[in-house]
Amino acid sequence: DAMVIQNPRYQVTQFGKPVTLSCSQTLNHNVMYWYQQKSSQAPKLLFHYYDKDFNNEADTPDNFQSRRPNTSFCFLDIRSPGLGDTAMYLCATSRGRDNQPQHFGDGTRLSIL
């Protein structure tokens, strides 16, 4: 049974049109992460939430925002997507207080046209 669920699996949007990707988890984990993975590259961490505390990576563009309204859900908002934002976006969770691994969803493949 899927424990980290990302919707939709595929999303197509227009250049400059805001888009929101969603992630939900049934693990009750404290930490939720968002990664960007471009074609033939490794996943790159964008930001993460530890409970309600937001932690942005230094090189994450301002165009990318996130919301975590409760433990189970986390959203990735791209305010004005550019062609370079075409990528797979991965959500992951972890307990955050021990060495147990992160659990990943299957991602949302976003295409900007």
Q: Which residues of 74-103 are buried (b: 16+ CB within 10 A; e: fewer)?
A: bbbebeebeeebbbbbbbbbbeeeeeeebb
Which part of the chain contacts another protein (CB under 8 A), choosing from 14-22, 41-49, 62-70, 79-87? 41-49
Is the Cβ of residue 72 or residue 96 nearer to another protein in the bound state? 96
Tokens representing residue 87 in the block: 């990528």
Contact pick of 11, 22, 71, 103 for another protein (by CB under 8 A): 103
Which part of the chain contacts another protein (CB under 8 A), choosing from 12-20, 60-68, 72-80, 91-99? 91-99
